[in-house]
Amino acid sequence: MFKRLTFLLILAALLLAACAPQPAPTETAAPEPTEKPLTKVRLPMGYIPNVQYAPYYVAAAKGYFAEAGFEVEFDYSFETDGIALVGANQLPFTLASGEQVLLARSQGLPVVYVLGWYQQYPISVMAKSSSKIQTPQDFRNRKIGLPGLFGANYIGLLAMLYANGVEESEVTLESIGFNQVEALATDQVDLVVGYAANEPVVLRWKGYDLTEWRTSEYVQLASNGIVTNETLLAENPEMIQAFIGAILKGIQDTIRDPDAAYEICFDYVENLKEADAMVQKQVLGTSIEMWRSERLGYSDPQAWENMQDVLLKMKLYSEPVDLDQAFSNQFVP
């Protein structure tokens, strides 16, 4: 009897437990998605803030760099030697021109050009139309002003002379600093050399009637673009691809809508709102002419061969460098 009573009591307890309300199961909260931190990139620009850098400002303002995983700092310091820092793998990228790449490689720096931003070499030679100078052959025995015997102005001028059968010894070169506008306006020299999107635009805005010769009309040279190094190319090509992709979006948007790109420049170029909009928009428009291509970002192998020929003729280095190692189109769609 006692066993039966014990059994009934246990059974009743089990039934009551079964009928009691059960606590809701504890849900494990899903982990909050964590955003991958952006990679900080300091990008040497080589010049002061300017509307000519509109594609980079567009890529930053529209979030293309951030989408690609980058936080970009634009470095305008003239003291920053971008090519040397990239060659030493202390920076991943820099803006540089074709001759800088070849000169660096001739000195053993493992830099590689991976995006042809400019499709035309951006150097022009200018004279007042009243001078009656009509062709580069007429430069003989003339005084030509340029910032100095270095850099793109010097390379672009000599490339034009060589393409027209004129030797450096047949002209007089004057180092005038970056005073080309004043030097030509006041007849200190017969001709000046400058960037096609700068000095010719300013001189015409000041009312001078010019004759202009662009280097790109006579010879195709490797121009301004993005440079990286062999280490990054071998170890992290995805980073290069992402960075170039963001820049290409910026270039495309700037070409499609220059006015919108110009508005974006207000946030990056100090005092742009106070500058003459007609002049600045012409600077941007002339720059866009030199970026256009059926394949944005492409590097023309012939332009690299031409550039090397000019540098060898100038005796800036003595032995040809391997051009296949100097530039790459593998990241260009």
pLDDT of residue 81: 95
**Mean pLDDT value across residues 206-218:** 97
pLDDT of residue 79: 83
Residue located via tokens 């005084």: 143
Neighbouring residues of 235: CB distance < 8 A, sequence distance ≥ 6: none
Would you say residue 13 has pLDDT above 80?
no
Distance of CA 169 to the CA centre of its chain: 34
Q: Are 140 and 168 in contact (CB under 8 A)?
A: no
237-272 pLDDT, tens digit each: 999 999 999 999 999 999 999 999 999 999 999 999
Residue located via tokens 């550039």: 307
The secondary structure of the chain, three-state, reads CHHHHHHHHHHHHHHHHHHCCCCCCCCCCCCCCCCCCCEEEEEECCCCCCHHHHHHHHHHHCCHHHHCCEEEEEECCCCCCHHHHHHCCCCCCEEECHHHHHHHHHCCCCEEEEEECCCCCCEEEEEEHHHCCCCHHHHCCCEEEECCCCHHHHHHHHHHHHHCCCCHHHCEEEECCCCHHHHHHCCCCCEEEEECCCHHHHHHHCCCCEEEEEHHHCCCCCCCEEEEEHHHHHHCHHHHHHHHHHHHHHHHHHHHCHHHHHHHHCCCCCCHHHCCHHHHHHHHHHHHHHHCCCCCECCCHHHHHHHHHHHHHCCCCCCCCCHHHHECCCCCC
168/288 Cα distance (integer angstroms): 31
Q: Are 62 and 93 in contact (CB under 8 A)?
A: no
193/199 Cα distance (integer angstroms): 8
Handedness of CA 95, 100, 101, 104 (dihedral sign): negative
137/110 Cα distance (integer angstroms): 38
Q: What angle do CA 90, 91, 96 make, to 5 degrees?
A: 125
Would you say residue 274 has pLDDT above 70?
yes
More confident residue, 22 or 138: 138
Edge-to-edge strand ranges of the sheet holding 191-195: 172-175, 143-146, 191-195, 123-128, 210-214
Edge-to-edge strand ranges of the sheet holding 225-229: 94-96, 225-229, 111-116
Distance of CA 49 to the CA centre of its chain: 13
Q: Are 49 and 77 in contact (CB under 8 A)?
A: no
Distance of CA 260 to the CA centre of its chain: 19
pLDDT band at 32 (very low <50, low <70, confident <90, very high): low
Question: pTM value?
Answer: 0.87
pLDDT of residue 7: 37
333/256 Cα distance (integer angstroms): 18
pLDDT band at 80 (very low <50, low <70, confident <90, very high): confident
Residue located via tokens 């000046």: 192
pLDDT of residue 36: 79
Amino acid sitting at position 94: T
> In residues, how long is the chain?
333
Would you say residue 11 has pLDDT above 90?
no
